[in-house]
Structure 1
Amino acid sequence: MSTSQRRRAKAFEPVALDHAEAVIVDQYTRLVRLAYLTLPGRLNRHRRVLAAHSLVQRALPGFRVRHATARVPLPRTGSADGGGGGPRGTEPARTGTAYMTARVLSAALAHERRPRGWPDRLPPPRQLRPALPVVWGLRLFPRAGGTEEIALAQILSELPAPARAAFVLCRLDGLAHPEVVDLLTAADVPDPEAALRAARRVEETVGEAAGELLRSQEFDACSVQTRPTDL
């Protein structure tokens, strides 16, 4: 195994819980946006917002290995709100971010996965499982964007989930082709190259504005509006 292959494999090794928690704190907005955009468009926006937050919050690994260092967030690697930039920075930051991004992606991609023999009339198992956060009496949804954002949302809703994830990783996080392939592979996508090809076709349609559109309020599941459920 070459040095680059070993480095890429190391990026997805499980990290200590305190590292994972620090990544969640530092990159929460980015991870929620990634989950929101990867989740199926057929979910209404309220359900997608709640599901995105739930997936990120449940992405913490289930073990308690801790380092003896102080529990402080990792150095910020993107914008001030953690909204982009991908897994950059120091080696612990890169490793922890890649690992947690893969966990969030895997959960988002599996959201509508049905076991063999699962009845078509029932929602997928992950949609039946109660999960926090729970909201009663209100509907949550991101602030509406313009016509370009709405058009992009429609295009993304027609893509397979792995292609949506590849598009976001390329255009929002600015990751290179090998990094996207590694993340999709770690998230159990069977054909990352096909997902990237589909993402490139969307890039050709949307153009250079894709990154800015993805960073718009239309896709920000952390800055939401509320409405009563009966309106």
Structure 2
Amino acid sequence: MPIHQPQQRTDVQSDRTGVRQAEAALVEHYPRLVRLAYVVLPPGLGRHRRVLTAHSVVQRALPAAGSKASGPRVPAQSRRTGPPAGAEGASADRVPAHPAYGWVRLRVLRAALAHERRPRWWPGRLPAPASLRPALPVVWGLRLFPRAGGVDELALDRALSAVDGPVRAAFALQLLEGLDEPGVRELLAEAAVADPVGAVRRAARLGRPDRAGAQAMLRSGEFDPCTVQTRPSDLLR
């Protein structure tokens, strides 16, 4: 009597393949993902903590080993994975086309947005629950921050500080990832944003009238948490 391989075994192998593809995409495009997380995270964290949290968000994007919920199915190719022709940022620094990258990017986006979400009963004086969870990496005795930019970069950073996470996410997805507005709305909806249409509409006002200049600034050292400067922390006297 022939013995057939259980279907569950095939599913497990498929899940493992998906995780390996996602891990490869994360490693290959790590600086891009960390920059995206840094722009989306609340500026109120401060630059040092924002740098570390951006790295933590990306490093924790993969599912935990052995977790039942960790068997991701890498999504099929869609327009969200790469920029369409004519989208902002589509001509330079092209977004990876592999669907595994889109899956990891969505996980990073959800985790970064969670740092600004508070339950209704959560005390307003406390940071969002996601910001209170201990996470690696941890740095003691030093403060890290991206290289200082000029007046224009500072003005853009202040403008981003004045809007909420979904708006920053929409802005970054358009200028860093080169997605068009329908693609951004769809991705924000998957990230559980309550009003993707409103977020995209408000993001369209940022960086005006020089959107190309704003895009160049987002790709500059001011918003690069992988190229940082160090300074001592509070010194004991």
Q: Same fold (TM over 0.5)?
A: yes
1:14 to 1:177, Cα distance in 2 relative to 1, 3 A: farther
1:77-108 CA distances to partner (integer Å, 9 max, x unpaired)? 99xxxx953342xxxx1x11111111111111
In structure 1, which of residues 134, 142, 147 is the aligned counterpart of residue 146 of structure 2? 142
Match of 1:172 in 2: 176
The answer on whether the counterparts of 2:41 and 2:54 sit within 8 Å (CA) in structure 1 is: yes
Match of 2:124 in 1: 120
User: Does 2:157 correspond to 1:156?
Assistant: no
Q: Which amino acid counterpart does residue 47 of structure 1 have in structure 2?
A: R
Q: Which amino acid counterpart does residue 222 of structure 1 have in structure 2?
A: C
1:48 to 1:142, Cα distance in 2 relative to 1, 3 A: same
Question: Aligned equivalents of 1:117 and 1:15: distance in 2?
Answer: 41
1:169-203 CA distances to partner (integer Å, 9 max, x unpaired)? 11122111222122111111121111111111114
Q: How far apart are 1:139 and its partner, in Å?
A: 0.4
1:196 to 1:227, Cα distance in 2 relative to 1, 3 A: same
Number of corresponding residues = 201
- 3-state secondary structure, aligned to 1:201: coil
Match of 2:106 in 1: 102
TM-score by length of 2: 0.78
Question: Aligned equivalents of 1:26 and 1:206: distance in 2?
Answer: 31
User: Does 2:39 correspond to 1:34?
Assistant: no
Question: Aligned equivalents of 2:30 and 2:154: distance in 1?
Answer: 24
The answer on whether the counterparts of 1:143 and 1:217 sit within 8 Å (CA) in structure 2 is: yes
1:135-188 CA distances to partner (integer Å, 9 max, x unpaired)? 100000000011111111011110111111111111122111222122111111
In structure 2, which of residues 95, 98, 120 is the aligned counterpart of residue 86 of structure 1? 95
- 3-state secondary structure, aligned to 1:225: strand
Q: How far apart are 1:15 and its partner, in Å?
A: 7.5
In structure 2, which of residues 42, 45, 62 is the aligned counterpart of residue 43 of structure 1? 45
Match of 1:72 in 2: none
- 3-state secondary structure, aligned to 1:184: helix
Aligned sequence identity (%): 55
The answer on whether the counterparts of 1:86 and 1:175 sit within 8 Å (CA) in structure 2 is: no
1:55 to 1:14, Cα distance in 2 relative to 1, 3 A: farther
Rg larger in structure: 2
1:113 to 1:14, Cα distance in 2 relative to 1, 3 A: farther
In structure 2, which of residues 1, 19, 24 is the aligned counterpart of residue 17 of structure 1? 19
Q: How far apart are 1:117 and its partner, in Å?
A: 1.4
- 3-state secondary structure, aligned to 2:149: coil
The answer on whether the counterparts of 2:116 and 2:165 sit within 8 Å (CA) in structure 1 is: no
Q: How far apart are 1:26 and its partner, in Å?
A: 1.1
Match of 1:52 in 2: 54
- 3-state secondary structure, aligned to 1:139: strand
Gap runs ≥5 in structure 2:
1-14, 73-81, 84-91
Question: Aligned equivalents of 1:84 and 1:229: distance in 2?
Answer: 35
- 3-state secondary structure, aligned to 2:193: coil
1:107 to 1:14, Cα distance in 2 relative to 1, 3 A: farther
Question: Aligned equivalents of 2:155 and 2:220: distance in 1?
Answer: 13
